[in-house]
Structures are given as C-alpha cells and as structure tokens.
C-alpha cells in the first residue's frame, strides 16, 4: 500500500493543501488522531480544505484517510524507544542520596505535567467529556496498577452520572463486556508495558461499534489504534515504576468537564448520595 508521502508526490496540490499536508507529516503521531476541524482550527484554514486534501490523496473521505494514516503509523513506528525493565531502572538512582532522589522525583513529576499541559489540545478533553456525557453506559477498563485508577475514575464519574461500570483485575472480561453496543463508550487505560487484556477489551468495543477514549502514553500505543479520542499522558520517571501524576490531572479534568455538562443531575444525585453516606459512614 502506498504511503501518504508517496500519494502526495503524485498529486497536484494547492498552497492550502501543502500547508495541511506539511502539518500532518511533521506531526504524524498526533495528527493521525485529530479531526478535520481540529487540524483546520490549528492552521487557520477551513475544514473543507482538510477534507478536500484527503480526497485528492485518493481516499473516499477524511475518516478513511485517518484510519489509513493510523495504520501506517502503527506499522512504521510501533515504538522506537527501548523498553526498560523495572529492575533495570533502579540503577538510575542507586547512587543518589535520599534528598537528591526526592528532588529528582519532584522535578520529574512537574516536568511531566508541564509537558502534557503544553502538548494536549483542550478540544480533546472537551470532546471526550461530550462523548462520556451522552453515552448510555461508560465502561472503564484498566488492569494491574491501572485498575486502581479505573476504580477511582469509576467512583468519580458514578457521582455525577448513572451507568458507569469498571472492568479490571480478576473479572471475566468477555462476560463483563458482552453487552457493549454503539451507544456506550469505553475509557481504556493502559501504559507501557501494555496490558493484553486492555487491548482485547478495546477490540471487543470496536466490534460492538462502541466509541473508545484511550488514555495511554503514546499515539501509537495498541489501545490508541482506531480510538475516537486519545489522551496522551507523560509517564517518565526516575524510579522503577511509571509516573501517573499527569494522568491523574487529566482524569480529574475530564471528570470536571462531565460534571459541568450534567449540573441538574449532579446536584440531585450528589444530595441523595450524601444522605446515604451520612447514614452509613462509608465515605
């Protein structure tokens, strides 16, 4: 199959076409998950210009172009960064004093947050919140460490909307996801080294026509392929485990946006919950 670059070489392009194509090729990892409107907004051109380019390159529409581009990126660059095994990462800080290690961890955490604040588009969060708010049910999937985050995310979203289900450790995956349909949304959480269960859960969601919001560490991560929205979280750490502070920030951002969209439902639901929580003390 011809690459995007090969197709472009054979196509007569206008100056606007070249502007869009140049942006896409220089920002491949991110651009292959942006909508035509998002690309147009960043470049100051019309969405029709972006769509027209995809047709000039030989695709039926922009959606077909985007899927082909995602496949191309996944095949070309599955992940060029060597994977460090946890016990090997310990060597990075074995010669640091305790005070130096504390400082290194804090500086790393702040760097991850700053990186994600500057890299992620607000539109991705806003559109993800819209999808979650309108979905019939919300399935949150995470395994091992990610199950803890999925569980917390589930509690937060359950406070502001019904139909939130958390799927994770030691649960029968197929049984829990067999009723997925096109009106649902799946929030899939997985970071290097990617969980095979999370990947399979996303496959089930795609088969059901269910929209997927992938929260991961790379646009080329397995759960990102074909996802409706991808939220990339920086997880670099000086210690042996991934850093999840930036992910928690992004999780809280989505929760706040969803809450804003369901104000009346939120108030009634939270007041009812508060009554029962006071009676049981199960805070």
Mean pLDDT by 10 residues, the chain (283 residues): 76 87 82 86 91 92 86 63 51 73 84 78 89 96 93 92 92 93 96 89 95 89 87 82 89 93 74 81 72
Q: What confidence score (pLDDT) does residue 85 get?
A: 53
Residue 262: the pLDDT is 74
In this prediction the pTM is 0.66
- CA 122-180-196 angle, to 5 degrees, is 75
The torsion angle over the Cα atoms of residues 84, 90, 94 and 97, rounded to 10 degrees, is 110
Instruction: Give dist(CA 235, CA 191) in Å, integer.
Output: 8
Distance CA 53, CA 34 (A): 15
Q: Domain residue spans in the chain?
A: 4-76, 86-280
Give the pLDDT confidence score for residue 82 in this predicted structure: 43
Radius of gyration of the chain (CA): 21
How do beta strands 211-216 and 185-189 pair?
Answer: parallel
CATH topology of domain 4-76: Arc Repressor Mutant, subunit A (1.10.10)
- The number of CA neighbours under 13 Å toward the Cβ of 121 is 17
Give the Å distances, CA to CA, from 89 to 6, 92, 202, 239, 242.
40, 6, 30, 6, 11
CATH superfamily name and code, 86-280:
Glucose-6-phosphate isomerase like protein; domain 1 (3.40.50.10490)
């Amino acid at each position: 199959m011809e690459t995007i670059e090969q197709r472009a070489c054979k196509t007569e392009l206008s100056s606007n076409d070249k502007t869009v194509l140049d942006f896409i090729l220089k920002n491949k990892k991110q651009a292959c998950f942006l909508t035509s409107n998002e690309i147009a907004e960043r470049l100051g051109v019309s969405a029709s210009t972006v769509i027209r380019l995809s047709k000039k390159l030989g695709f039926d529409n922009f959606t077909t172009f985007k899927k082909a581009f995602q496949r191309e990126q996944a095949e070309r660059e599955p992940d060029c960064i060597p994977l460090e095994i946890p016990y090997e990462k310990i060597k990075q800080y074995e010669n640091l004093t305790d005070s130096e290690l504390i400082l290194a961890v804090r500086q790393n955490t702040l760097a991850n947050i700053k990186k994600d604040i500057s890299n992620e588009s607000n539109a991705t969060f806003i559109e993800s919140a819209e999808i979650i708010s309108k979905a019939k049910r919300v399935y949150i999937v995470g395994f091992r460490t990610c199950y803890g985050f999925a569980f917390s995310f589930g509690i937060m979203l359950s406070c502001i909307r019904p139909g939130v289900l958390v799927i994770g450790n030691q649960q029968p995956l197929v049984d829990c996801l067999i009723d997925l349909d096109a009106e649902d949304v799946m929030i899939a959480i997985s970071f290097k080294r990617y969980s095979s269960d999370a990947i399979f859960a996303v496959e089930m969601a795609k088969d059901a026509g269910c929209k997927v919001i992938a929260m991961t560490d790379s646009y080329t991560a397995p759960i990102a392929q074909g996802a409706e929205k991808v939220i990339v979280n920086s997880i670099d750490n000086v210690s042996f485990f991934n850093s999840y502070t930036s992910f928690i920030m992004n999780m809280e951002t989505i929760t706040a946006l969803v809450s804003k969209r369901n104000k009346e439902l939120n108030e009634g639901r939270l007041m009812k919950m508060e009554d029962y929580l006071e009676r049981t003390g199960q805070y």
